[in-house]
Structure 1
Amino acid sequence: MVSLNKNIIRSILIISYIIVIALIVSGISGLFSYLNTGADRSKMLHTEIKKIEQYLPKVIWQPLNNEGRKMDNQNLNAIQNDYLDAWYVKQVAYNSNKKAGIKDYYTDHARKNLYQTIDYNANNNTRVNATTIKHNLNLDFFSEDGQLAVITDKDVLEYKQVYNKDSLVLETKETSTYKSILLLEDGFWRIRHTVRQNFTPIKSKLNPPIDSLNIKGINYYPQNSPWAMFGNLFAKDTLKKDFKIIKDAGLNTIRIFVQYEDFGKADVDKTKLKQLKTTLDIAKQHNLKVIVTLFDFFGDYAVLNWTLNHRHAETIVNSIKNHDALLAWDIKNEPNLDFKSRGKANVIAWLDNMIDVVRSVDSINPITIGWSNTKSATILKDKVDFVSFHYYEDLEELDSKVIALKKEIKNKQLVLQEFGISSYSGFWKPFGNSKEDQASYYKKAQEIIAKNNLQFMSWTLYDFKNIPKEVVGRLPWRKNAQKHFGFIDKNGNKKPAFKYITN
């Protein structure tokens, strides 16, 4: 028995010894591997820059005609990548008043001024929220040894917000020209010196007023894929059938939605882009015009991420801007609902600049914003081409609110872009409205629309079987009510309200 115990103890000690030796060997191996592997710059850098996801300003290179050594594509791409990273690191540092990452993209000489600015801002409770939108680069010089480059960045389009103690004290959009010297150190191009040569404040350009849109329309989703129009359920036959119903009802316009993440954010999904074009093709076949609402289900207005939003918008707008069925761009659906959670100033600044981006790509088609109420509809009224608002409040007050809105907006057309009422009355809402109540609502609404010469787009063609939780949340009384806003019920039958789908 004693011998058996000794053997057990001996076995435990041997196994423990083997485990300890294995751990030590593994640790030494890991340390050796770390010391013999080049550091991952994204790990070294606290901001972990990934331009494909965080920073994509528009970059235009002038034809290469530099002095010194001939430039190759590999070196040119490296210079561009590190130069843009340097801009982004500086923007992060000025916004956070932290110095992490500066040394990776600026030499000892250049970082002194940056550190001084960061320290000064931190001591004065000041921070700068900024981004660059467009760079026009020219290579002036590339040394024979490939270690030094001089570039001129002409008319850099910059947007800045300056905060003091969390209060916005300055907002500016400007163009500046910079000349920079870059040195190749440790395999990376670092900025040695930068001189700002000039800057010019930007004033927004407005399109001339449009004479008439004559919108009599409806917000559209297919019945089997609400809020998921583009994807695996996309069907041409469904669109053809529905667009014929809409046209035969006497309407001439539909409003559709492009979801930011669903379409791939900055890297737009080509398949869904093709489906969007197909939608406009079918609309044209049925003599319907289309208002395309951008950035649906989007809520990140951070200045540092604007360049990603810009690349997304440019791709979408460029792809269909010349389509005959396109009527207008709606920058964002109900952005004022984000005022409380995202900050009113941030949302408005994003909208203001996004209008400029869309207009820079498409100078022909008009632009609007789909505000959720009449109260917010005057915001940016001088930048949009027509003013759109939604109305789900007491119908008895619509007439007076439209009259008040017309007094504030005298030179722009008004579009009642969303309105409607649910016909749901059931377990979750026993005192809701009936189908007859819905019909009475639309009859009265069309009388007010005609009286005020409003253009309109109702919500929506169909009742839906399923509502995504992202739309109205999980509460059953809200989801069930949202399912019954249509003019056509779940079984394909026209409801009494269909008689008043237009005036």
Structure 2
Amino acid sequence: MKINKIIYRALLLISFIVLNGLILVGISAMLSYLNTGADRTTILHIEQNFEETYSPKIIWNNTTNEGRPIEDQTLNAIENDYKNAWNVRNIALATNNMYGVDDFYTTSARAKIDSIISLNTKNNTTLITTSIQHNPTIDFYSADGKLVVFTDNKAEQYNEVYSNKNLISSFNSAPSYKVMMLLEDGFWRIRHLEELEQKNDSLESVSKLKQKVAKKMSGINYYPKNTPWDMFGKKFDTVTLKKDFALIQSLKLNTIRIFVPYEAFGKATVDTKKLMQLEQTLDIAQQHKLKVIVTLFDFYGNYDVQDWTLTHRHAEQIVNTLKNHPALVAWDIKNEPDLDFESRGKPKVMAWLKEMIKNIKKWDSKTNITVGWSSTEAAENLVKEVDFISFHYYKKPEDFLNSFKVLKNKSEGKELVLQEYGYSSYSGIWNLYSGSNDAQADYYKEMQGYVTQENIPFVLWTLYDFETIPTAVVGRLPWRKSQQKHFGLFSADGKPKKALDYIKPKK
């Protein structure tokens, strides 16, 4: 009995100690959470990093400061919090909601944003805006390391104004700002953001004179026959490229057009392995005396202003890597963007294209820029912005000359390139057995006659027939997939087709 009492008392004592220990651990965890504060991306319901949603270019022109030098770690923290402050400001103006702004602006700085949102809400107006590039210069950094003042010179922005959900105005601007930021709770918050008066300087840079390279093109759109639309995937193979490029060279063609898929290449943070593969492709092309048109943003279709800075970072990495490559002949901004006019809205697509062209010209002033429009009618867009005009043609050959001459009259003297055209030799149930290699040969006989007559640079579609076509390219309909498989000058097993007899290079 005495032993049982001892055991009972011991259990009570142990239970009391354990319970108090758990209470202490719980209180400690709660205090730790309250002292740390919630994660700021969670507050905004943005689960991914800000870099995945907004990444403008920030170039520090001067970081020297009389008195206390600014540390690299501190400068990085200031840059990140300044960028994040712009991000939440853009979100607030787009939604007319102050949610999340408190975390990046002090009380006095929030008042100005709040007044704008109140006025916009009252007038049923919305401002969609993004910043493209910031150019800050340090003016002052306090001795205690808790206050910084800098001037953001000519911060490049794009703005859209909506009234009752209708776009009424869109414009670029480059205001300069005087910025004061305070270090509070471990974060740099904007205390003061004042737009400075400035001269009306144009954002447009003077474009350097570029070579007229388009007129020399005799080329082909290229995918490896076993990996169409997945050239830089797991089966990337330099042996295949060398073999195929040697074949193209033997046809006396001098240009290939290749495609860079946006998501597969890593979007804003480009996959270094795929970038290396892209560079290898140009190296092999150079070895076979082939020039390369690099078509960017394949399978991209967002165009939202909030997405712009991500596409800028994507293009910047590729352009800066390849811009001095001797095989590079042109940047093609996007393949057939006009096909997105209906679903995304023409103004939105055109604004994105214009901004992308302007940025690529800043990063690479030497290489020609074009856009791969799906038709002669669509190619009348952005004539002033591109260096040569590219158009695709899949209509009847007998109508080609009239369409070409209409476009030529509107080209303002710029080179025209027939960048895609071709004919499927498919013969099966889905086209009532009406296709054939002979029909494909007749098509090229007629089209190449027009090409020669008008001395038109050409890049035909394509080298090989394909055994498989990804559903993402033409959809699931079997008649479309079957047609798409048989546009090649060579069959899927590598045998030449009759159309080859009429493919003559430009003189």
Using structure 1 for the length normalisation, give the TM-score: 0.91
Distance 1:324 1:472 in 2: 34
Match in the other structure for 2:8 = none
Match in the other structure for 1:465 = 467
Match in the other structure for 1:102 = 101
Give the deviation of 1:449 after TM superposition.
1.2
Q: 1:27 to 1:311 in 2, by over 3 A?
A: farther
Match in the other structure for 1:22 = none
Distance 2:502 2:22 in 1: 76
Report if aligned partners of 2:425, 2:439 keep a CA contact under 8 Å in 1: yes
Match in the other structure for 1:262 = 264
Report if aligned partners of 2:210, 2:367 keep a CA contact under 8 Å in 1: no
Report if aligned partners of 2:62, 2:136 keep a CA contact under 8 Å in 1: no
Match in the other structure for 1:478 = 480
Q: 1:484 to 1:78 in 2, by over 3 A?
A: same
Q: 1:26 to 1:475 in 2, by over 3 A?
A: farther
Match in the other structure for 1:274 = 276
Q: Secondary structure at the match of 1:485?
A: coil
Give the deviation of 1:206 after TM superposition.
4.2
Match in the other structure for 1:74 = 73
Q: Secondary structure at the match of 2:135?
A: strand
Give the deviation of 1:105 after TM superposition.
0.8
Using structure 2 for the length normalisation, give the TM-score: 0.90
Match in the other structure for 1:452 = 454
**AA at the equivalent of 2:43:** M
Match in the other structure for 1:339 = 341
Give the deviation of 1:289 after TM superposition.
0.7
Match in the other structure for 1:234 = 236
For residues 431-442 of structure 1, the aligned pairs below 5 Å read 431-442=433-444
The answer to whether the aligner puts 1:371 opposite 2:373 as a matched pair is: yes
**AA at the equivalent of 2:173:** E
Distance 1:31 1:340 in 2: 58
Distance 1:284 1:69 in 2: 52
The answer to whether the aligner puts 1:416 opposite 2:412 as a matched pair is: no
For residues 179-198 of structure 1, the aligned pairs below 5 Å read 179-198=178-197
Cα shift readout 1:52-83 (whole Å, capped 9, x = no counterpart): 20111111123432244332222221111111
**AA at the equivalent of 1:81:** N
Give the deviation of 1:425 after TM superposition.
1.4
Q: Secondary structure at the match of 1:323?
A: coil
For residues 140-289 of structure 1, the aligned pairs below 5 Å read 140-199=139-198, 200=200, 201-203=202-204, 205-208=206-209, 210-213=211-214, 214-289=216-291
**AA at the equivalent of 2:435:** N
Q: 1:161 to 1:224 in 2, by over 3 A?
A: same
Match in the other structure for 1:53 = 52
**AA at the equivalent of 1:87:** W
Q: 1:207 to 1:166 in 2, by over 3 A?
A: farther
Distance 1:28 1:482 in 2: 69
Give the deviation of 1:414 after TM superposition.
0.4
Q: Secondary structure at the match of 2:427?
A: coil
Q: Secondary structure at the match of 2:148?
A: strand
For residues 479-498 of structure 1, the aligned pairs below 5 Å read 479-498=481-500
Q: Secondary structure at the match of 2:348?
A: helix
The runs of 5 or more residues in structure 2 that have no matched partner are 1-20
Q: Which runs of 4+ in 1 moved over 6 A?
A: 25-32
How many residue pairs align between the two structures?
Answer: 479
Cα shift readout 1:112-153 (whole Å, capped 9, x = no counterpart): 111010111122121111111111122222222222211111
Report if aligned partners of 1:149, 1:183 keep a CA contact under 8 Å in 2: yes
Cα shift readout 1:342-368 (whole Å, capped 9, x = no counterpart): 111111000001001111111111000
Q: 1:49 to 1:225 in 2, by over 3 A?
A: closer
Match in the other structure for 2:129 = 130
Report if aligned partners of 2:383, 2:412 keep a CA contact under 8 Å in 1: no
Q: 1:382 to 1:395 in 2, by over 3 A?
A: same
Report if aligned partners of 1:130, 1:161 keep a CA contact under 8 Å in 2: yes
Q: 1:492 to 1:142 in 2, by over 3 A?
A: same
Distance 1:101 1:251 in 2: 57
Q: 1:228 to 1:31 in 2, by over 3 A?
A: farther
**What root-mean-square deviation, in Å, do the aligned CA atoms of Structure 1 and Structure 2 show?**
2.0
The runs of 5 or more residues in structure 1 that have no matched partner are 1-24
Report if aligned partners of 1:210, 1:385 keep a CA contact under 8 Å in 2: no
Match in the other structure for 2:350 = 348
The answer to whether the aligner puts 1:36 opposite 2:36 as a matched pair is: no
Q: Secondary structure at the match of 2:189?
A: strand
Calculate percent identity across the aligned residue pairs. Answer: 50
Distance 1:27 1:336 in 2: 64
Give the deviation of 1:205 after TM superposition.
4.1
Match in the other structure for 2:407 = 405
Give the deviation of 1:479 after TM superposition.
0.8
Match in the other structure for 1:303 = 305
Task: Point out the more displaced range, 203-212 or 91-100.
Answer: 203-212
Report if aligned partners of 1:49, 1:85 keep a CA contact under 8 Å in 2: no
Match in the other structure for 1:319 = 321
**AA at the equivalent of 2:197:** N
Cα shift readout 1:372-413 (whole Å, capped 9, x = no counterpart): 011110111100000000011122211100011111113101
Distance 1:195 1:48 in 2: 31
Give the deviation of 1:27 after TM superposition.
12
Match in the other structure for 2:89 = 90
Match in the other structure for 2:387 = 385
Q: Secondary structure at the match of 2:220?
A: strand
Report if aligned partners of 2:213, 2:329 keep a CA contact under 8 Å in 1: no
Give the deviation of 1:31 after TM superposition.
9.2
Q: 1:248 to 1:112 in 2, by over 3 A?
A: same
Task: Point out the more displaced range, 126-135 or 39-48.
Answer: 39-48
